[in-house]
């Protein structure tokens, strides 16, 4: 939150303008975000069978199938205007599983939980930069072609899957450089979100009733739906707990960056990221107490 405040002050002081923020968003997605994806695969220390890896990836596919169904239903049931449906869908489907989810499940459940989260994050990234981009762009990028879906994070996600299965110990300088590049994404993304908030009246940010009405969907309905559906067949309690906690994380900050890049409702996205992050201070402990 302090990093986000730096972005707000930078925008108010004229250090970062809208064009600079747009360029920073493109850079953050292309370089640090891609490095984070690769680093998560390189840093997997545990030796596990390919069957276990495939099982977790399969659970990840079901996890995001549930979230996509929820993300498609909620805007329609809430009668959201067509121009904003894609942003609401993205906010519903994609939580802050990397920046908040990894340390959270690590603190709650230990290193094996982080390993599960890293594998689930592979599915997150594959879908975020394919399905997610389509939601955010809303078809404004013209006729659909697969080439338009090619991006640095998507290519990195595909490489991450290969890295997980390759029995290779990557040299420490390579791992450290990749890790440090990835570490840039948290402060950079928060500054970008803050700079976008800084271009708005803060009164409007805190008094946006639409976001307060949406927040329970992202923070409460999503984890409850995942716990109920995946609990029917996932026998590994640790894996189910990890999925539930990740499902209850606040809206992904990448939504704001992609909204800036693709000309979606940037104000809605940044307000949702900010307010769900604040509100998650109360909802994450509640979810842990209720379901775990």
Q: Number of structural domains, the chain?
A: 1
| Nearest residue to 213 (alpha-carbon basis) of 284, 268, 286 | 268
CATH code for the domain in which residue 44 is found:
1.20.1530.20
Question: Looking at the DSSP assignment, which residues form a beta bridge with residue 95?
Answer: 251
Asked if 52 and 167 count as a contact pair (C-beta separation under 8 A), the reply is no
CA–CA separation, 222 and 218 (whole Å): 6
pLDDT at 150 over 70: no
pLDDT digits (tens, 9 = 90+) for 18-46: 888 888 888 887 888 788 878 877 876 65
Out of 15-24, 117-126, 148-157, least confident range: 148-157
Greater confidence (31 vs 164) lies with 31
Residue ranges making up the domain that contains 242: 2-291
List of residues 6+ apart from 16 with CB closer than 8 A:
7, 10, 24, 191, 195, 198
pLDDT at 202: 76
Instruction: Taking each helix axis as running N to C, give the angle between helix 266-291 and helix 185-198, from 0 to 180 degrees, rounded to the nearest 10.
Output: 120
Half-sphere exposure at residue 157, Cβ-oriented, CA atoms within 13 angstroms: 22
Residue 49 three-state SS:
coil
pTM score: 0.80
Q: What is the DSSP letter of 52?
A: H
**Percentage of the chain surpassing pLDDT 90?**
31
DSSP output for 67-122: HHHHHHHHHHHTT--HHHHHHHHHHHH-B-IIIIIHHHHHHHH-HHHHHHHHHHHH
- Percent of the chain's residues with pLDDT above 70: 93
Token digits of residue 141? 């990028």
Each residue of 167-196: pLDDT tens digit?
677 889 999 999 899 888 888 888 888 888
Burial environment of residue 9 by CB neighbours within 10 A (0 to 12, 13 to 18, 19 or more): middle
Give the residue-averaged pLDDT of 246-269.
Answer: 89
Tens-place pLDDT, residues 63-110: 999 999 999 998 888 888 888 899 999 999 999 887 678 778 877 887
CA distances to 10, 40, 252 from 102, in Å = 28, 10, 13
């Amino acid at each position: 939150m302090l990093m986000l405040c730096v972005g707000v002050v930078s925008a108010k002081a004229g250090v970062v303008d809208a064009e600079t923020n747009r360029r920073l968003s493109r850079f953050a997605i292309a370089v640090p975000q891609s490095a984070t994806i690769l680093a998560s695969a390189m840093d997997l220390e545990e030796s596990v069978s390919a069957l276990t890896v495939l099982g977790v990836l399969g659970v990840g596919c079901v996890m995001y199938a549930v979230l996509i169904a929820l993300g498609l239903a909620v805007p329609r049931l809430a009668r959201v205007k067509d121009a904003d449906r894609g942003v609401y869908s993205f906010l519903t489907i994609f939580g802050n599983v990397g920046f908040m989810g990894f340390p959270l499940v690590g603190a709650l459940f230990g290193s094996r939980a982080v390993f599960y989260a890293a594998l689930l994050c592979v599915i997150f990234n594959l879908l975020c930069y394919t399905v997610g981009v389509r939601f955010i762009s809303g078809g404004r990028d013209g006729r659909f072609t697969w080439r338009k879906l090619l991006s640095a994070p998507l290519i990195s996600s595909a490489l991450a899957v290969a890295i997980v299965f390759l029995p290779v110990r990557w040299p420490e300088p390579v791992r450290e450089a990749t890790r440090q590049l990835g570490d840039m994404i948290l402060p950079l993304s928060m500054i970008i979100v803050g700079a976008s908030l800084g271009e708005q009246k803060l009164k409007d940010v805190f008094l946006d009733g639409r976001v307060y009405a949406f927040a329970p969907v992202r923070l409460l309905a999503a984890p409850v739906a995942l716990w109920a559906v995946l609990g029917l067949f996932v026998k590994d309690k640790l894996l189910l707990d990890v999925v539930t906690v990740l499902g209850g994380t606040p809206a992904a900050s990448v939504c704001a960056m992609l909204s800036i890049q693709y000309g979606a409702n940037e104000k809605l996205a940044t307000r949702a990221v900010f307010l769900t992050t604040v509100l998650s201070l109360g909802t994450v402990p509640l979810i842990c107490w209720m379901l775990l």
